Amino acid sequence: MTASDATRPLKEVRWGMIGCGSVTETKSAPALSKVAHSRLIAVMSRTADRVRDYAERHAVPNWTTKASEVIEDPELNAVYISTPPDSHLAYTRLAARAGKPVYVEKPMGRTHEECQHMLDACQSAAVPLFVAYYRRALPNFLKVKDLIENGAIGTVDTVHIALHSSADEKMCDPDSLPWRVQPEVSGGGLFMDLASHQFDFLDFILGPIAEANGAVANRAGLYPAEDMVCANFTFESGALGSGNWCFCADNTNAKDIVEITGDRGRITFSSFAIDPVRLESAAQSESFPTMWPEHVQQPLIETVVASLRGTGSCPSTGESGARANAVIDAIYRDNPYLNSNGTDLNDDSVNRTNDSRRGSSLKN
């Protein structure tokens, strides 16, 4: 596929998927074939038994252990990258060179610098880049956006995030830690994995964050990454934000709440739990129940397919996805739990560099 081909609307989106981890089992991969004018045709994993089993269970007609066979297959015209973040840049570059649009899992990269390289690769090849921040298309989160845009709480003044959970049993075995708490793979700890969703959604409903800073700690010592974060941030609109995240809390202290206050009321909602959206103001007090779809990425994937077919647009692009990384970079500045292994920025890998976490201003 040439660059000019990549800019033409597609009649049918024929997906090749790189990686077949847990996120794809229910959240995303089934939707690639359930959305109209879209089919998942090939899947890749480096482990033959695993990818063969996956293809059989999900009725994917083709499987391979080589990413190049997915990227270079002329039958496929779009690539879904569902690997951990440390390989997002390399695979995005390869897909862009092949002239194929990219849908990549979040966080988009390990650092904002990696995200920028992904953007550069896709822009140079004239192919679109989408990021799997699916809250931008889920009904309960769209309700929050609708309430704010229609003035239900007036002008937004402040935002506060609180996310506390206990450590999962998987985090207690140092010999088999999940990639999400291995900074060299994920870019940080659970804060990177989960708060990226929250910052992206706030960007969606309130606009970009202009400045951010924070403090981190590792209180439980279960893994190399941080397990506690406190942060302050300021939106370009002037609204102020704060948050605290603790992934070693006692079960009795578990919480998942975002509170947005305006000059005429407040909205509260959960980022990960299926809790109602609540509105409280002088004019009204109301709860809006929510149900997540069976495949939570399907509403967003519908917008990706529409964009590629020229019949609509997707709200989660490489540009917006990179902004979530920029916020986290600013909060992570001087994080002692992150890895700094040199400055190798090549086609196959990108290692964290000492200057890739640049300050607290997000305008550079």
- Residue 343: the pLDDT is 27
Least confident window among 136-140, 231-235, 314-318, 347-351 = 347-351
Separation CA 104–CA 300 (nearest Å): 12
**Does the N-terminal peptide bond of residue 107 adopt cis geometry, omega within 30 degrees of 0?**
yes
- Beta-strand ranges (E) seen in 119-251 are 129-131, 156-164, 209-217, 228-235, 240-246
Model confidence at 218, pLDDT cuts 50, 70, 90, reads very high
Question: Residue 69 above 50 pLDDT?
Answer: yes
Residue 27 identity? K
Question: Residue 112 above 80 pLDDT?
Answer: yes
Question: Residue 108 above 60 pLDDT?
Answer: yes
In this structure, are residues 16 and 79 in contact, taking their beta carbons and an 8 Å threshold?
A: yes
Q: Average pLDDT of 61-71?
A: 97
Least confident window among 69-73, 97-101, 303-307, 339-343 = 339-343
Query: Integer distance in angstroms from the first to the last C-alpha of the chain?
Result: 34
Mean pLDDT (the chain) is 92
Q: Please, which residues bridge with residue 269 across strands?
A: 258
Tokens at residue 31, please? 């939707």
More confident residue, 286 or 1: 286
**DSSP state for residue 25 in the 8-state scheme:** I
Q: Residues 54-64: pLDDT tens digits?
A: 999 999 999 99
Separation CA 159–CA 8 (nearest Å): 41
CB neighbourhood size of 319 (10 A): 12
Separation CA 141–CA 272 (nearest Å): 11
Separation CA 159–CA 225 (nearest Å): 26
Separation CA 343–CA 345 (nearest Å): 6
Q: Which residues contact 61 (CB under 8 A, 6 or more apart)?
A: 41, 42, 55
Separation CA 294–CA 298 (nearest Å): 8
- Residue 172: the pLDDT is 82
- Residue 249: the pLDDT is 95
- Residue 7: the pLDDT is 67
Best CA proximity match to 88, nearest among 199, 10, 192, 211? 192
In this structure, are residues 109 and 325 in contact, taking their beta carbons and an 8 Å threshold?
A: yes
- Residue 356: the pLDDT is 45
Q: Average pLDDT of 8-35?
A: 97
Q: Domains in the chain, start-ordered, CATH in brackets?
A: 3-134+298-317 (3.40.50.720), 136-295 (3.30.360.10)
In this structure, are residues 81 and 56 in contact, taking their beta carbons and an 8 Å threshold?
A: no
Task: Look at residue 296 and give its three-state secondary structure.
Answer: coil
Model confidence at 363, pLDDT cuts 50, 70, 90, reads low
Question: Which residue is listed with tokens 């291995």?
Answer: 182
Model confidence at 340, pLDDT cuts 50, 70, 90, reads very low
Separation CA 269–CA 334 (nearest Å): 31
- Residue 174: the pLDDT is 87
- Residue 291: the pLDDT is 87
Question: Residue 351 above 90 pLDDT?
Answer: no
Q: Average pLDDT of 117-143?
A: 98
- Residue 97: the pLDDT is 98
**DSSP state for residue 92 in the 8-state scheme:** H
